[in-house]
Amino acid sequence: SATLYIVPTPIGNLQDISQRALDTLRQVDWIAAEDTRHTHKLLQHFAITGRTLSLHEHNEDKRAAMLCQRLSDGESVALVSDAGTPLISDPGFVLVRRCREAGINVIALPGPCAAITALSASGLPTDKFTFEGFLPVKMLAREQALETLQNRNATTVFYEAPRRVVETVKTIAKVLGQNRQIVLAKEISKTFETYVSGNTDTVLEYLTVDPAHQKGEFVIMIAGCETSVTEVPPEALQLLTLLQTELP
Ligand code: SAM
């Protein structure tokens, strides 16, 4: 059987497409795209004339079955999303899982991803981090999701829609306190790329001082909590175990 290629595309700056991504898009039999119209613009820009078909959240099951069949028949497929790395808060998981189960070769090309790019420039610790995708839309569920970060000592990275960004920063202040350090990455690789770092007030001030600051694409990062409940010294834990066996 042939290969499924996972092909990341630019998240704002077209120059971020890799030579290998271009070569792959030129060579494959099919380009499976989240939105074919969107992808046509990209292909047109690079004078690529591949055959496209759509694969999005509403038809992924059916398309995955069909593409697996074509791959088994020896046709190669490139999977792209509208921007960045497919499968990262984008369609593709159903297809990749199915291909893996069928023993089809899957190769992912390294490339643009908003979460990783934002994290690397954030100034927050990068040794350990959690990616949360998009927070739930409903308020209660959002608050609950943020509450789980209370004692997390790793950096948290998530995506946010422009219409919710102010509300989300306010909710972070409410749930995690006003002193938690957060970093807002806006319009990465585009003309108005901006990083705002500080407490929730600093970020809210930036967002509200000019309505234009609330437009565009955002990654929000939250610093880990400084003293975690898991950071109990080993001697203390030993003592606790001892006491537990000794005490009635
Ligand atoms: N698969 C993509 C990736 O690898 O980054 C993410 C797709 S997700 C549907 C889109 C979200 O990613 C946006 O709402 C925003 O939160 C984030 N994003 C994408 N491009 C961005 C950019 N240029 N600057 C900041 N955030 C971006």
For the chain, count helices (H), then strands (E).
9, 10
pLDDT band at 227 (very low <50, low <70, confident <90, very high): low
CA of 239 to the centre of ligand 1 (A): 47
Q: What are the residue ranges of helices labelled H in the chain?
A: 19-27, 36-45, 60-72, 93-101, 114-122, 139-147, 165-176, 200-209, 234-246
**DSSP-H helix ranges across 148-233:** 165-176, 200-209
pLDDT given for residue 169 in this prediction: 98
Q: Which atom of ligand 1 is nearest to the CA of 85?
A: 4
Would you state the pLDDT for residue 231? 63
At 229 the pLDDT is 55
Give me the pLDDT at residue 242, please.
85
- Ligand 1 touching residue 158 (CB < 6 A): no
The answer to whether the CB of 194 is under 6 A from ligand 1 is no
- Residue 84 Cβ inside 6 Å of ligand 1? The answer reads yes
Q: How far apart are CA 156 and CA 192, in angstroms?
A: 24
With cut-offs at 50, 70 and 90, classify the pLDDT of residue 230: low
38 CA distance to ligand 1 middle (Å): 15
Nearest Cα neighbor of 143 from 116, 165, 174, 120 is: 174
Is residue 248's pLDDT more than 80?
A: no
**What is the pLDDT at residue 215?**
97
**Is pLDDT above 80 for 228?**
no
What mean pLDDT value characterizes the chain?
95
- Nearest by Cα to 60 from 99, 21, 26, 24: 99
Residue-wise pLDDT for 186-212, tens only, equals: 999 999 999 999 999 999 999 999 999
Nearest-angstrom CA–CA distance, 231 and 204: 31
Residue whose CA is closest, atom 16 of ligand 1? Answer: 159
ipTM for the whole complex: 0.99
CA of residue 114 to ligand 1 center, whole Å? 5
Segment 94-108 shows an average pLDDT of 98
Does the pLDDT value for residue 162 go beyond 90? yes
